[in-house]
Structure 1
Amino acid sequence: MRAQALGAGMLAQSQSAIAPFRLHRPTTLTQASALVAEYPEATIAAGCSDLVARIREGERIERLISLQRVDELREIDESDGTLRIGAAVSHHDGSTHRIVRTAIPGFAAAWSSIATVRIRYTGTIGGNVMAARTRYEMPLLLGALGAEYDYDATGRLLCHVRVNTAGLRWFGYERSMRPTATLALAVRAAPAGGIDVRAVAGSEYRPGYTLTAHAPGDDLRDLDPSALAATLAEQLPDECADHTGSADYRRHLVEVLTGRILRAAADDGVERTPTP
């Protein structure tokens, strides 16, 4: 494999061979965790789509722990109101999985919209999260859902993503204004009554900002999308501005995108389950 060197500008980019590295291919989660503990400096990868990008950006890999053969990290299940997704589940497999589509149809639909076809079959939910790139969309989706992450004892190996599905009434995602603005939004029944709204608004150049609001009543059809959208958008700090737009412009975009999702929730009344 060969990597392109950055900084070539208008000239042809140079080519350089990737230096040899040590490869470990565990087949169980226990083996993988032991290797991570033994080699704390090692690079961890599953689908390797982000790894290829990092190598092209100049990163040197000396030891790689591949998770591709660890079947435990590709499991998906739901029980007691918790959806659990293995960190090595690919975008394609996760978004088309029957359990995911039944548990949170809106999340499955949003998941199916991210990345290119090539990356969808190789990139994983865990890799998308652990890469910590603002242009990757999974952190926004999971952030709006209030997802929790299970790591191994070293704290370096992400094992599972857990999402509480109890009380979840609606989930929507708007990416029509990428790269300037993307927004994920979850609507839940509040424990003490009413409806809680949690949104994460980001862009390709800024981390996501968490926005929250509460609405009285229990019927989604009684939501006031315009008022809730304005409440959420005004929470964006001035630091949300970047070279694609001012803070006021991004607040306007978030208000528009939030309103779209909330109107869809109010019009539907209840999230529909897709046809298998």
Structure 2
Amino acid sequence: MFHPPDARQVSRTPADLSPVPLYRPTTVDEAVAALQESGAAVYAGGTDFFAAVRQGLAPQALVWIAGIAEMKGASVADDVLRIGALSTHDESVEAPELDAVPGLARAWASIATVRIRNQATLGGNLMARRERYELSILLTAVGATARMAGPEGYRDMPVQDLWQADLTSTPLLVSVGVPLRGAPKLDYERSMRPTFTQALCRRGESLRLVMATEWLQPWFTDAALGTEPAEMLADLPEDFSDPAVGREHLVRAGGAFLKRQTARLEAIA
């Protein structure tokens, strides 16, 4: 996530940017090579890029990756649902491949505004590493991995590890992969947003719960099917609270939602 060097500065606009080199790669390798230039920034849908500019980002070069075909679309192969990082929100939820994870398309369709959904990409949402963005919550719940590319090749990491990862050697998110073993299905509860949101994934006889707020990075826990809500939430960190909501409230509300979410997942064939 980009943080401005001086929080007191006046908000910038794109007109404040100086002319910089523009690269238009058509392959992942070309994009990785362009990103080796000092101060280069990735540009795709642009929705988060301009937010970062307003916070003070001043790139020395732009790498416009929208023309990389291999980073678009969705597919199912080898028991993995793979979604390209350049897929927009709307393109993703309309892809029939997402039916491989019941509930994922419905949950994904509930986030962001119409304008953002039509323009913003999966990759931009994750790589911004902003707590208020919700896609990390959903993808952490379903156990997704992020495929990163760099000069030395590819590496896969759990989506939740992107928050703290040093991505210097692998700066480009190419796709995410959702393992389909155990027939995962997802329920997302966001009726109390921005106070908090909660995702629950059932995979066979196991559950994964993910909780987040607009101020806190997603927290997750794994448990066996049938585990009581109080037990699942017992490990919620003591400092998991923000200016709007405290831990005690999150435990109570999260437990109540867990019961409803478990019942809804039971109803999914």
User: Same fold by TM (over 0.5)?
Assistant: yes
1:23-102 pair list within 5 angstroms: 23-36=22-35, 38-100=36-98, 102=99
Say yes or no: does 1:159 pair with 2:149.
Answer: no
Whole-Å separation in 1 of the counterparts to 2:184 and 2:142: 11
Cα deviation for residue 230 of structure 1 reads: 2.2
1:84-163 pair list within 5 angstroms: 84-100=82-98, 102-153=99-150, 154-163=169-178
1:195-210 pair list within 5 angstroms: 195-210=205-220
Q: Quick check: 2:206–2:223 contact (8 Å CA) kept in 1? A: yes
Structure 1 gaps of 5+ residues are 1-5, 190-194, 216-223, 272-276
Structure 2 gaps of 5+ residues are 1-6, 151-168
User: Structure 1 vs Structure 2: percent identity of aligned residues?
Assistant: 32
Tell me the TM-score normalised to structure 2 length.
0.85
Cα deviation for residue 159 of structure 1 reads: 0.7
Q: Structure 2 residue aligned with 1:213, among 223, 226, 229?
A: 223
Whole-Å separation in 2 of the counterparts to 1:40 and 1:112: 37
Corresponding residue number in structure 1 for 2:183: 168
RMSD of equivalent CA atoms: 2.1
Whole-Å separation in 1 of the counterparts to 2:73 and 2:206: 30
Tell me the TM-score normalised to structure 1 length.
0.83
Whole-Å separation in 2 of the counterparts to 1:137 and 1:60: 26
Rg larger for: 1
Q: Quick check: 2:101–2:184 contact (8 Å CA) kept in 1? A: no
Whole-Å separation in 1 of the counterparts to 2:24 and 2:59: 15
Whole-Å separation in 1 of the counterparts to 2:142 and 2:12: 43
Corresponding residue number in structure 1 for 2:21: 22
Corresponding residue number in structure 1 for 2:228: 228
Cα deviation for residue 229 of structure 1 reads: 2.2
Cα deviation for residue 41 of structure 1 reads: 2.7
What SS does structure 2 have at the residue aligned with 1:129?
helix
Whole-Å separation in 1 of the counterparts to 2:31 and 2:74: 19
What SS does structure 1 have at the residue aligned with 2:209?
strand
Look up the equivalent residue of 1:78 and give its one-letter code.
V
